[in-house]
A and B are shown apart, each in its own frame.
Chain A
Amino acid sequence: MNRSSSSPDSASALSDHRAISTATVFFAYLAAIALYRPSFFSGTNLSSLLYYACLLAPAVLGAQMLMVLGLFDLSAGAVAAVSGVVAAQAMISGYTIPLAILIALVCGLAFGLVNWLLVSRLRLPALIGTLITAGVAKAVALGISNGVVVGGLPLQLDVLALGGTPIRYAVMFGVLLCMLAEVASRYHVVFRRMYQTGDNREAAEMSGINVKCLELTGFLLASGGAAMVGILQISRTLSASPTIFNDLALEVIAACVIGGTSVRGGKGWPIGAFLGMMVIVASRNLAVQSGVDIFWRDLAIALVVLASALLTRDDKKLL
């Protein structure tokens, strides 16, 4: 009997071909860019890509875990916007920066709780439930900001997004979060159970895993991540717009798919989702750099999503 117990994949989050597919798409994309526009690979440009991806990392990583459970969150953008506006309003009303950020985070998590109530308790489809939350969050953001950009935030706030030399704190935070998510997804019981639940929800329930509790964790991670993104955004611009982040929810889902996460749940890896976000940020950057109309950026992203989705399909049959 062969009982080699040293196989490293026993706790592995990345299911063999998915990691390879992600890497393939990522490097193929880079190669295509290299041919088309070598100047893309300048040090400053690459580090700015990493920076922008890191600003979005919390939302991507949260959404990735939710997707591992077989769920998704369309309210990410609206929650990011409302969290930014709430933090801004709190600061203007005289709260200290840390307290204002805390209030904004709690606000974001509250929307995650609403998502969970609608989807897991009232059993609405994730598509409908999180769309409802998105509508509410957007209305709240517009309501408390009177529909205009909230400006005049304290200057010290910019330390979050812009502080730190030579490496920005935001980059350290994003990369660290990514590493932490990767390790947790392999070795922490809560995250492993998310993969198991996404794989076979019924089996997980029968084995005594509290699936509803895991789903709550997933929704809170997603909305908490979105709230952090909103806070980083106001830190970077020192102003909060209620109408920003219209594309965030779908971009985040696209990043996860490019990164090899299965929409059906149970498969995917956090670093992959982060690389997926890099691809999306790169597309945006590339469009701007090359003077191509920004409208074509979405086409580039769509093609990458297509390539990645085709490569990570479980059923490899053609047509």
Chain B
Amino acid sequence: MIHKSGQLSPLGGRFPGSLSVKSLTKVYDGAPVVSEVSFSLPQLRVVALAGGNGSGKSTLLKMIAGVTSPDAGSVVWNEESLPAGDCKSARSRGIELIHQDGGLCHERSILENLFLGREHVSRIGLLRMSHMRSLADELIARYELPLPGVGAKVRHLSGGQRKAVAIGRALLSKPRLLLLDEPTAALGVKEQQMVLRTLRELAAEGVGIVLCTHSPDEIVEVAEHLLVLSRGELIGNLTLPGPTKAELALMMST
């Protein structure tokens, strides 16, 4: 795998973490968006969370990350119950969520976005620019992220490059579990491949990955486990490789 041991490695633990979710429920305006979802993944590597629009994938992901607080149920990560709706404590345990739109500041540089909210600063709050720049360069080289110099503005980047910035930002905090909301949506084929390749590399390093997706191709390509949601309920929980792409497409359309 990659590369020399720099300041970025080791990334999290080398062993897969365990995630279990117990009767997680979220209700919006009286209608359950996620209802009573339970599953247990003792050795979480790459899990695909599939389902159509409105199936509750994003909400489930956000509840795991603590961004949204559930109306009922709990999330247990590495035998430890996470406080509900507390994204800071989820982060401190190495859980990082990458939003669908990336959550980037478009008028700011790649560097600023990589360190958004977690800048390295001196005692009086001055940014340690050269330190951050070398960390960013190291990260970009290590995962071969297709980014120009870190001074470029995000506004000028392609969709895939923006996704790379969003993923890079999560990686800088050495996550153990990476939650991605449709990481390949609205990307070209090449850029999709870049994102999937990066995810595979991370999985090989022991970072757990849960990604929402519509795409049977993507599931077959990267996932080792599949959860299928439909109208907020878990209707499929299976290990891959198993079903063919056609069977997957059929499952996801229900």
Which residues in A have some Cβ–Cβ distance to B below 8 Å? 1-12, 15, 187-190, 192-193, 195-196, 199-200, 202-204, 206-209, 266-267
Contacts and interface: CB of A to CB of B under 8 A. Distances in A.
B103 A192 contact: no
Contact of A208 (B88, B106, B134, B149): B88
A187 B149 contact: no
Given A5-B136, A187-B127, A187-B129, 19 more contacts: A1-B147, A3-B137, A3-B140, A5-B133, A6-B149, A10-B111, A10-B133, A11-B112, A11-B127, A15-B153, A188-B127, A195-B108, A196-B108, A200-B106, A203-B104, A203-B105, A208-B88, A208-B117, A209-B116
B185 interface: no
A112 B136 CA distance: 38
A204 B105 CA distance: 8
A11 B91 CA distance: 26
Given A1-B146, A204-B117, A11 B105 contact: no
B10 interface: no
Interface of B: 67, 87-88, 91, 99, 102-109, 111-112, 116-119, 121, 125-127, 129, 133-134, 136-137, 140-141, 144, 146-153, 169
Contact of A200 (B104, B126, B151): B104
6 interchain residue pairs of minimum CB distance:
A7-B151, A207-B117, A10-B151, A199-B105, A203-B103, A208-B117
Contacts of B116: 196, 203-204, 207, 209
B126 A5 contact: no
B108 A199 contact: yes
Contacts of A266: 105, 107
Given A2-B149, A3-B137, A11 B109 contact: yes
Given A1-B146, A11-B112, A199-B107, A206 B67 contact: yes
B126 A10 contact: no
Contacts of B137: 3, 5
B58 to A, nearest CB: 14
B149 A189 contact: no
Contact of A187 (B88, B105, B126, B134): B126
B37 to A, nearest CB: 23
A4 B129 contact: no
A2 B110 CA distance: 14
Contact of A196 (B105, B149, B153): B105
A188 B125 contact: yes
A256 B91 CA distance: 38
Contacts of B153: 15
Contacts of B109: 9-12
Contacts of A267: 107
A71 to B, nearest CB: 17
A2 B148 contact: yes
Contacts of A203: 102-105, 116
B107 A3 contact: no
Contacts of B152: 7
B108 A202 contact: no
9 contacts: A3-B137, A3-B141, A3-B150, A7-B151, A8-B151, A10-B151, A188-B125, A189-B125, A195-B108
B85 to A, nearest CB: 14
A4 B169 CA distance: 19
Nearest to B119: A189
Contacts of B125: 188-190
A282 B55 CA distance: 62
Nearest to B117: A207
Contacts of A206: 67, 99, 103
Contact of A9 (B91, B117, B151): B151
Nearest to B144: A1
B151 A207 contact: no
Contacts of A207: 103, 116-118, 169
